[in-house]
Chains A and B, each alone.
Chain A
Amino acid sequence: MAQITLIEAVTQALAYEMQHDQSVVVLGEDVGVNGGVFRATQGLQKKFGELRVLDTPLDETTIAGVTVGMAAQGMKPVAEAQFEGFIYPMMEQIACHAARLRNRTRGRLTVPAVFRAPWGGGIRAPEHHSEANEHLFTNIPGLRVVMPSSPARAYGLLLAAIRDPDPVMFFEPKRIYRQYKEEVPDDGEALPLDVCFVLRDGTDVTLVTWGAQVKECLETADALAEEGISAEVIDVATLTPLDFDTIAESVSKTGRCVIVHEAPKTAGFGAEIAARLAEECLYDLLAPVQRVTGYDTHIPLFRQEMKYLPSVERISAAVHKTLAVS
């Protein structure tokens, strides 16, 4: 069985579902002949034709609006925003229509669509190519916000996203697109969209994260282990609707929690998790919840971007801060 990267897992999932479901189509800028600027749709147009793998005009509003229309009339479109920093023109169509059509028609029309976007920083990209703004979508009712952090989870979660009867934002952490390879059987097995994944068991502190920061959190856990500190690592994976129970169970066990995300701190999705912990797990906490996040600034251009992104050092310092409280 072939070992594949996260981005190859995206391609594999798209190809599998297009092969097995004629209503699945892919659309976006450069997704056809070019196979996407990151090659997520590599080879798909050759296999499935120019209409099912459609190069759209260069207009994100068009991509999003056409996606809503197709989905409402029985297709399962997978739209690509070339970079998450380009997704803003799509927001009216996503918030006012994709996420809302089921509700406003009492279920008569629905939008079973996926909006994919390469997400986050850390690849020395130009301005507007490194945004992390998942929190702008987690506050929109009727949307699922999903972020994979490994090849296997990219495959399984994308299949689930395409099959889901409601719209799904699928943010792909492009920093780890080619970070490592793993075996991902092309068996069409989807992963659940309503659970957080506990990637590492621990007893002293819970690290809660998603997307590319899963990498730093696992590395931090390794480093902490050498100090005799046992960290549990949770990949939230589906931010909304949130499987808070898994997080609560872990934090109630460890008594300490550090939330790590790349987006700015204020009103980031970490704030939601911290608030839920305060509401529901306060008496199990041994120390105040910590957040390690991007700063409340725009992500700097690439000469400085690594200073902005949560690092093993910053995460580790936050863990020690929680441990300092006895």
Chain B
Amino acid sequence: MSIAATFEIQYLQYLDPEGKQVRDDLPAFAEDTEHMVELYKLMVSTRVFDAKSVALQRTGKLGTYASCLGHEAAHVGIGSAMAAEDVLAPSYREYGAQLYRGVQPREVYTYWGGDERGNDYQNEPARHDFPWSVPIATQCLHAAGSALAFKIREEKRVAVCTIGDGGSSKGDFYGAINIAGAQKLPLVAVIVNNQWAISVPRHIQTGAETLAQKGIAAGIPTIQVDGNDIIAVRKAMGDALERARNGEGPSVIEAVTYRLGDHTTADDARRYRGEDEVKDAWTKDPVVRLRAWLEAKGVWNEEKEEAWKAECDEWMDNEVNAYLENKAQPTSAIFDYTFAEMPEDLARQREQAIELDRQ
């Protein structure tokens, strides 16, 4: 028998779990230690933000919340590589990427606090990004559609979608990379493989050895990176974005990480995964790793760490206060965004609901 096709999946890592550099060919952005400190600071603030969110939920001030604990390198790596004019179509825990693009913590709190206004991002460039997509992987096609719009309008912009390991099982993900491959669309699809889709582990999600190789079926470049190594994530993102911007088409990136927290605050991961596994995952903590590397370079230390964490605490306290001070929307808001123009029947229902509210 002859061979019809062969493939291999490359794996990229710059920093090992101890923060030791395993390659000499650092990308240019990583040589800029000031920039790396900025990325580190956002990883820390993302973690502080996340802890605050969980605390808000535990004290009844937030509804169900999906934590991003452990994903900081992947998410900040994705967000920081993108250009302002690009578009992000995230799933529901990519706060690190979104904060970089101008989403405010108070907006995240507002959304998980049961208020649609949390999706109405006020700051550019997040203002043209998609809101969190709850139905799994559906956002991949929104990114592909955005990429198609950019191609038709001849804009040098890229659409980025993020999904989880579970999401890569859905047809929407394959449909997105498939049409993107067929039409050479400026799309980057990032699989943030955190090993768990609620209680379903990665190994029964698919028989494929890597999730990255799903890109092979779409005929597009694909790579697996250490998702806890922000340099690797950022480098792979940068390369993929550059190709897309130059009209060379889409890419898939699998960022291998670990969901250190529960799926959401409504979940208890102890029901389905062992403590040893989680303990082991903590030894690969993305934040600890980058900090060790920065400290070895002499650009970060305990004093700076404490100062920055204090600053983050203050920032989040402000954001929490802004969220808590914001009153619920009026009853009319249930109706006002259904159509651009209010149909007469709906206007009558709106009046009824307002009247009921008055009584």
Contacts and interface: CB of A to CB of B under 8 A. Distances in A.
A102 B176 CA distance: 22
A92 interface: yes
Interface stretch (A80-88, A107-115, A316-324): A107-115
Contact of A69 (B117, B142, B337, B345): B142
Nearest to A68: B142
Contacts of B120: 105-108
Most buried by B among A25, A59, A110: A59
A72 interface: yes
A225 interface: no
B233 to A, nearest CB: 24
A143 B127 CA distance: 24
Contacts of B144: 62, 65-66, 69
A244 B89 CA distance: 39
Interface string B87-109: 10100000000000000000000
B59 interface: no
Interface stretch (B13-21, B147-155, B258-266, B299-307): B147-155
B128 interface: yes
B179 interface: yes
A104 B119 contact: yes
A139 interface: no
B149 A74 contact: yes
Nearest to A25: B152
Interface stretch (A8-16, A50-58, A198-206, A213-221): A50-58
A241 B345 contact: yes
A257 interface: no
B319 interface: no
Report the contact-size class of chain B (Cβ under 8 Å from the partner). 35 or more
A145 to B, nearest CB: 12
Given A66-B179, A71-B145, A104 B131 contact: yes
A75 interface: yes
Contacts of B153: 74
Report the contact-size class of chain A (Cβ under 8 Å from the partner). 35 or more
B346 interface: yes
Given A66-B141, A105-B119, A105-B131, A72 B146 contact: yes
Nearest to A243: B344
A142 interface: yes
Interface string B108-125: 000000001101110000
B337 A70 contact: no
Contact of A108 (B87, B127, B146, B343): B127
A71 B152 CA distance: 13
B142 A105 contact: no
A57 B181 CA distance: 11
Contacts of A105: 116, 119-120, 131
Interface string B216-249: 0000000000000000000000000000000000
Contact of A73 (B87, B117, B176, B339): B87
Interface string A30-68: 000000000000000000000110101101011011111
A235 interface: no
Interface in A87-127: 89, 92-93, 96-97, 102-110
A188 interface: no
Interface in B183-234: 183
A17 interface: no
B337 A107 contact: yes
A62 B131 contact: no
B67 interface: no
Given A62-B175, A72-B130, A104-B119, A241 B339 contact: yes
Contacts of B257: none
A91 B150 CA distance: 25
A244 B153 CA distance: 41
B117 A106 contact: yes
Interface of A: 25, 51-52, 54, 56-57, 59, 61-62, 64-75, 77, 89, 92-93, 96-97, 102-110, 141-142, 164-166, 194, 241-242, 244-245
Task: Report the 10 A-B pairs with minimum CB-CB distance, sorted nearest first.
Answer: A69-B145, A65-B141, A241-B343, A69-B142, A62-B175, A66-B145, A165-B340, A70-B145, A106-B120, A103-B337
Given A66-B179, A69-B148, A97-B133, 16 more contacts: A54-B183, A57-B175, A65-B144, A69-B149, A72-B142, A72-B145, A93-B138, A102-B337, A102-B338, A103-B116, A106-B116, A107-B120, A108-B121, A109-B130, A166-B339, A242-B345
Interface of B: 87, 89, 116-117, 119-121, 127-128, 130-131, 133-135, 138, 140-153, 159, 171-172, 175-176, 178-179, 182-183, 333, 337-341, 343-346
29 contacts: A51-B151, A52-B152, A54-B148, A57-B182, A61-B141, A62-B141, A62-B172, A62-B175, A64-B141, A65-B138, A65-B145, A65-B172, A69-B89, A69-B142, A70-B146, A72-B146, A73-B87, A75-B149, A93-B141, A96-B135, A96-B138, A102-B339, A102-B340, A103-B337, A109-B130, A110-B340, A194-B344, A241-B339, A241-B345
